[in-house]
Structure 1
Amino acid sequence: MDVPMAKHLENEHIPFPVLIGDIGGTNARFWILTDVYAAPREFPTVRTADFETIDQAIQECILDKSSVQPRSAILAVAGPIKSDEIPLTNCDWVIRPKGMIEQLGFEDVLVVNDFEAQALAAASLAENDREAIGELSQTTLGSRVVLGPGTGLGVGGLVYSQHIWIPVPGEGGHVDIGPRSKRDYEIFPHIETIEGRISGEQIICGRGIVHLYKAICVADGKSPEWSDPADITAHGLSGSDPVCVETLELLATYLGRLAGDLALIFMARGGVFLSGGISQKIIPALKLPAFRAAFEDKAPHSALMKTIPTFVVTHPQAALAGLAAYARTPASYGVSHDGRRWRR
């Protein structure tokens, strides 16, 4: 028994220095960890549209700017990992780990789902890196859920078993979402669909804010004034535009409904964590009654839902922090390497 366990732990080890990266549809963020204990070296955010390939971005923005050359890389990507070529969901980049080993000098590359990294963060972040939504402010070691509206809508699960945290990647942002209230039935016929479907991502993300705003305008016979999610959000938070105010209220409601559904699926007694920049920006809207009311309205289990806490992750680089926690103490986490790790 001792030999297989030692071999297992050896296989889990990621050699330092480690480049860790959070690769989103719009931005890519990188840190280098020189060893287990050192604070990460941070680099400026990279706009994915500014570089033809991820290899070019890493070479010019990281490797050319650092005297520390990483031996390995752990990358969190927005999209499923199925082969040696990994296309991103909302970006033209394709990640080719074998090419990175040959061209960039890495000896070890591990690729995980971006919300797997967010789930790792939910397991490891300090209390001051989150803000409670609702009266509950404490967590337990029970299962957790992470979801975050950004360029798309990411979803991840986190299971605590055998004294380790096991992140569960998925594509939960693409589940169907439908009307429920009278107001929903007025608005939903005007929401843009994908092949006839309205998924969570169609209304709970950056472009989803615009879809929702425009649908409200059409339903009420008004001409849209705004086309940028940042403008809609700003006017909604300030209260200067009634349609924008309703857009944020409905966004909070639909996010609360989906978060509650996922909490039931995972029996997430350890809490639901809302990640990403949009969640951070709309904290005032999420703290209004609509979000928790929608989250808890899950008869016959409303009493159970009242016991599940909800948080906004406020750490500015949560995914990188989650990856860093894993790189430092991999034995604390059950991260699968099958089909996702390449070595020289």
Structure 2
Amino acid sequence: MRKVSRKKTIAVWDLGATKCAVGIIEVDLFMERFKFITSTSLYLNDFFSLDDLTQGLENNLGTRFSDIDKIMIAGAGIYDGYTLNLANGYPYPMEFAALAKSRKWSSMTVVHDYVPMMCATFIADLLDPDQISFIHPGVLNPYGRRVVFGLGTGLGFKDGLLLERKKFWLGENEVGHIGIPFPPRAMPDEIQVHKEFIDFLRTQTDISPNQSITFEKVLSGQGTSRLHQFVTASKDHLLPHEVGDLLRAGLAEETLALLAWYLGLLIGSLQLIFMPSGGIWMTGGVLLKHEEIALHPQLKKGILASPAYINERRSFPLAIIKDKNLVFLGGAYYLAYRASLMGQSVPAFA
């Protein structure tokens, strides 16, 4: 009879449009414990192919992926069974099926990039401020609908439910592509700024006249640059990292305020769409570098610009996921307890 090893190793890839991070997790199958071992992060443009990137990751980690029991690819885009395709494109083809075969990987699972982050909310230590920072603690319903989103190069999102016996259900959504609503009950000055900003966006060369104005275009990628250029009425278009430097130095207060207001408008919209008694969990490079956005008074004003069911919504927790290693632990949790849409468990290590 074949002896089943008590411990297994899992490699979780967190693949974005510009960067790839990989973490190694050790799972104790009998004690149901997850232990973070190590991680590395590399920029895609520093390599000329997926195979070259993989070799770089293995060199940094000091291990071969073929020696890992389970591999998860959590990537931005849509996987067709052969290639991970991103709307705006990767620097080179992400042909994971061919890669896994050529490098003799024992097992590979490709999922939406925010699957691990959603699962991370199931196992995070809510009392550890280095892991989770509560902007509004509310009253957490552990089995209530929860949503997670991240502001970075794009606007990633996932909703889900924690079920009994560590099972779970995950939704299929693309919230970043939702159009920005007209705030139903904002202050007159806020409505005026909102109208002027939307008109300004229509003048941008990278936004066609017939293109919808989405939250992703305002809060992610070039969004901070557009906000800052609008606020300062400048002809110069700063890069996002240059605007970030100004925010950190306290030299872009108006930009910070408007960014916080639009983030609040997004949060208020998500509250109404999902009624997430399990909390709204935020992450991504923009928020992790600029937590002051979520602490700004304009955030609350943006939320209250959509006032329906506000008494019920006051109980919904709002938090920032701060520990970057939680994405790797969440990925391992998914592979250990993954469930179908009906909540039926799948063998973790078949």
Give the structure-2-normalised TM-score: 0.80
Which of these residues, 315, 318, 331, is aligned with residue 307 of structure 1?
Answer: 315
Which of these residues, 20, 25, 42, is aligned with residue 12 of structure 2?
Answer: 20
CA displacement at 1:99 relative to structure 2: 0.8
Alignment pair present for 1:157 and 2:156 = no
Q: Which has the higher helix share?
A: 1
CA offsets, 1:99-121, max 9 Å, x none? 12321111221000011221111
Alignment pair present for 1:289 and 2:273 = no
Equivalence map 1:107-256=2 (5 Å): 107-127=106-126, 128=128, 129-134=131-136, 136=138, 138=140, 140-163=142-165, 164-180=167-183, 181-191=191-201, 192=204, 193-194=207-208, 195-218=210-233, 222-224=234-236, 227-240=238-251, 244-256=252-264
Using a 3 Å threshold, how does the CA distance of structure 1 residues 65 and 298 change in structure 2: closer, same or farther?
A: closer
d(CA) in 2 for partners of 1:172, 1:319: 20
CA offsets, 1:314-340, max 9 Å, x none? 11233222102223x325x5589xxxx
d(CA) in 1 for partners of 2:228, 2:182: 16
Equivalence map 1:247-286=2 (5 Å): 247-286=255-294
Contact 1:145 1:272 in 2 (8 A): yes
CA offsets, 1:64-88, max 9 Å, x none? 8534621431110011233422123
Using a 3 Å threshold, how does the CA distance of structure 1 residues 334 and 237 change in structure 2: closer, same or farther?
A: farther
d(CA) in 2 for partners of 1:102, 1:261: 43
Contact 2:23 2:40 in 1 (8 A): no
CA displacement at 1:141 relative to structure 2: 2.5
d(CA) in 2 for partners of 1:115, 1:271: 16
Which of these residues, 70, 73, 76, is aligned with residue 72 of structure 1?
Answer: 70
d(CA) in 2 for partners of 1:156, 1:59: 30
Contact 1:17 1:70 in 2 (8 A): yes
d(CA) in 2 for partners of 1:67, 1:117: 22
**What are the ranges of 5 or more consecutive residues in structure 2 without an aligned counterpart?**
1-6, 184-190, 343-350
CA displacement at 1:179 relative to structure 2: 4.8
Give the aligned length.
Answer: 313
The residue type paired with residue 53 of structure 1 is S
CA offsets, 1:129-185, max 9 Å, x none? 111113537553311111111011111101234552222242211111145411111
d(CA) in 2 for partners of 1:44, 1:83: 26
Using a 3 Å threshold, how does the CA distance of structure 1 residues 96 and 125 change in structure 2: closer, same or farther?
A: same
Deviates more, 1:31-40 or 1:266-275: 31-40
d(CA) in 2 for partners of 1:256, 1:64: 39
Contact 1:188 1:215 in 2 (8 A): no
Instruction: Tell me the residue number matched to 1:104.
Output: 103
d(CA) in 2 for partners of 1:197, 1:143: 28
CA displacement at 1:256 relative to structure 2: 1.5
SS of alignment partner, residue 114 of structure 2: helix
CA displacement at 1:277 relative to structure 2: 1.9
Contact 1:139 1:309 in 2 (8 A): no
The residue type paired with residue 244 of structure 2 is T
Contact 2:119 2:333 in 1 (8 A): yes
d(CA) in 2 for partners of 1:335, 1:96: 27
The residue type paired with residue 265 of structure 1 is I
Contact 1:296 1:305 in 2 (8 A): no
**What are the ranges of 5 or more consecutive residues in structure 1 without an aligned counterpart?**
1-14, 337-344
The residue type paired with residue 236 of structure 1 is L
Equivalence map 1:295-334=2 (5 Å): 295-327=303-335, 329-330=336-337, 333-334=339-340
Identity of aligned residues (%): 21
d(CA) in 1 for partners of 2:331, 2:70: 13
Which of these residues, 22, 31, 43, is aligned with residue 30 of structure 1?
Answer: 22
Contact 2:275 2:313 in 1 (8 A): no
CA offsets, 1:249-303, max 9 Å, x none? 1111111211221222222011101111211222123112211332244332111
d(CA) in 2 for partners of 1:238, 1:249: 15
d(CA) in 2 for partners of 1:268, 1:38: 27
SS of alignment partner, residue 189 of structure 1: helix
